[in-house]
Structure 1
Amino acid sequence: MFVVVGYIFMVVCIFGAYAAHGGHLGVLWQPSEIVIIFGGGLGAMIVAYGGTPLKAVIKALPSVFKGSKFNKKFYMDLFALMFEVLSKVRKEGLMSIEGDVEDPHSSPLFSKYPAIAHDHHVVEFITDYLRLMVGGNLNAFEIENLMDVEIETHHHEAEMPVNAITKLADGLPAFGIVAAVMGVVHTMGSLHLPPSALGQLIGAALVGTFMGILLAYGFVGPLATVLEIKVAESTRVFQTVKVTLLASLNGYAPQVAVEFGRKALESVHRPTFQELEQYVKEAKSR
């Protein structure tokens, strides 16, 4: 939503101010130069990020127009789930959650929290390390190192679309210059035309530079920033799960382990201790 609002606000301010000072908007409409700029930029991006990274870009782009699912309600569900799982472990032993870990989609614990159950990355991360806790002989230090490696790998993979869009934005001003130079070349070949016609050709050529800069810093560059924020949000979920599980592995009670995870959140998403306690009690009674 904010992406669209921002685009509209920017376009109204830039082109509105131009028109208010007597500028003719029709002069700025140069489809061939837009094709040169975007075609050149996209072609270069395909060369650099063809294959799996390009598929990741196409998959990630629609998410910039959606709000984040990692909100306060999501984290309260996550903490309630973690509390119930860890409480079951504390009361009945690690083997009691073997069925929940092996088939989380059929687990009564996971099914109570559909927002978590529908995120297969988060579910997989939780169940993988619960499985290691159940069947493995790894200590907390070894599991922490393994978690860090997986989180870093996830972050690197999720950043591929960010890097691709950033490189595209960086290249658009240069391709704008390419379009402008080509316009100047065309103008130099038309010197037999009257001054008024030459003025139109020169103006059209300069539009290439303008469009390249506008598209880069006004449209494409901000998309990379939005994607970068979303990558950080998705990584924070794994960090929160990591802190909670490690606290439990180090012998802390479920209430304290969940509190460790709560402290790992930014203030905008962090529920208060009383809010989370009340929410967990209500969730357990369902």
Structure 2
Amino acid sequence: MDLSTLIGLILGLAALLLGYIWDGGHLGALYVPSALLIVLGGTFGAVIVSFPMARLKEVPQAFKMAFLEKKQDPQVIIDEIVDMASIARREGVLALEQRAQEHQNAFLKDGLMMVVDGTDPELTRQIMELEMDAVEHKNDGYVKIFECAGGYAPTMGIIGTVMGLIHVLGNLADPDALGPAIAVAFSATLYGVASANVIYLPIAHKLKLRNQQQISVMELMLEGILALQAGENPQLIKKKLASFLPHKKNAKQAKSEVGGDLAQES
């Protein structure tokens, strides 16, 4: 579970509700079923119109991607590739066959099997880049669904408010009821703007970040496999792949390597 996503949603909603209560508001006044139906129903309907059913069936996977963080430590992957490069230099790439077949990461497994099978390096790159493009396209589809919902929700809120005001203006005979009726009408705008900026758009942004992280790790694997296939020195591979590490980790690793070199010189 990615706690940042869950904590952010809870904190955002809680801040809105507590701020409303702080000014003397009552939570019961915010619950307007008709406005909720207009905003949520209208938003979901517009999203359904905008995307094919095959894409909409992937919404649960998008939620899973946003709330469940699939941790892939780049440093662990680098160490693994460097270790395999050392084995390949000593015993040849065929020595990696069993390790490749048993690897849990499908992308890295496919790349290693192409190396073991003697696939042309350029063809290996093309195949793996096509797979990366497919993953990026799929993840981008997740993002667009939530961005679309975030764009429609405020508009549906305004539509609900206008509909409520039409109802109010059609019943001006009772002046005492105008205030509560107008408040109910504007609740639709609240639902639309709040849902867009606390739920839909933040989740879309989180999915973008997840996509960037996943593609970055896949690029690391691709460069590592191509370097392994070219028979490059394992230490040079390690330094090359270190550029994919987060800045702090990269600096820490460079410092440790410098310290190790100084120790050897002394």
Deviation at 1:211?
1.6
Corresponding position of 2:137: 156
Alpha-carbon deviations, 1:159-217, whole Å to 9, x = none? 2111101111111001111211221222233233x212122111111111122111111
Q: 2:224 maps to what in 1?
A: 244
Query: How do 1:91-110 and structure 2 match up within 5 A?
Result: 91-101=90-100, 103-104=101-102, 110=103
2:109 corresponds to = 127
TM-score by length of 1: 0.79
Q: Does the aligned pair in 2 maintain the 1:243–1:264 contact within 8 Å?
A: no
* Partner Cα separation in structure 1 for residue 248 and residue 131 of structure 2: 26
Q: Which residue of 1 aligns with 2:204?
A: 224
Deviations 1:82-118 (A, max 9, x none): 22322222111122223333x31xxxxx4xxxxxx2x
**Cα distance in 2 between the residues matched to 1:79 and 1:235:** 15
Matched residue SS, 2:109: helix
Alpha-carbon distance, 1:47 to partner:
2.4
What percentage of aligned pairs have identical amino acids?
26
Worse overlay, 264-273 or 56-65: 264-273
Match of 1:40 among 39, 42, 47: 42
Give a deviation string over 1:10-51, Cα, whole Å, max 9, x none.
Answer: 334333333333334432221221121111111222222243
C-alpha distance after superposition, 1:211-232 (max 9, x if no partner): 2111111222111111111111
Query: Does 2:159 align with 1:178?
Result: yes
Match of 2:149 among 150, 168, 190: 168
Q: Which residue of 2 aligns with 1:234?
A: 214
What per-residue deviation string (whole Å, max 9, x for no partner) do you get for residues 217-258 of structure 1?
Answer: 122211111111111111111011112122223331123213
Instruction: Report the counterpart of residue 74 of structure 2 in structure 1.
Output: 75
Structure 2 counterpart SS, 1:159: helix
**Whole-angstrom CA distance in 2 between matches of 1:4 and 1:128:** 34
After TM superposition, the structure 1 stretch with the greater mean CA deviation from structure 2, 210-219 or 123-132, is 123-132
Question: Which residue in the other structure is 1:195 paired with?
Answer: 175
CA distance in 1, matches of 2:124, 2:67: 36
Q: Is the contact between residue 85 and residue 231 of structure 2 (CA under 8 Å) also seen in structure 1?
A: no
TM-score, normalised via structure 2 length:
0.84
1:29 aligned onto 2:31: yes
Matched, 1:5 2:7: yes
Conservation of the 8 A alpha-carbon contact between 1:56 and 1:161: yes
Alpha-carbon distance change, 137 to 229 in structure 1, aligned in 2, over 3 angstroms: closer
Who is 2:264 aligned against?
none
For the aligned residue pairs, the C-alpha RMSD in angstroms reads 2.4
Number of equivalences: 254
Structure 2 vs 1, CA of residues 57 and 268 (structure 1 numbering), >3 Å: closer, same or farther? farther
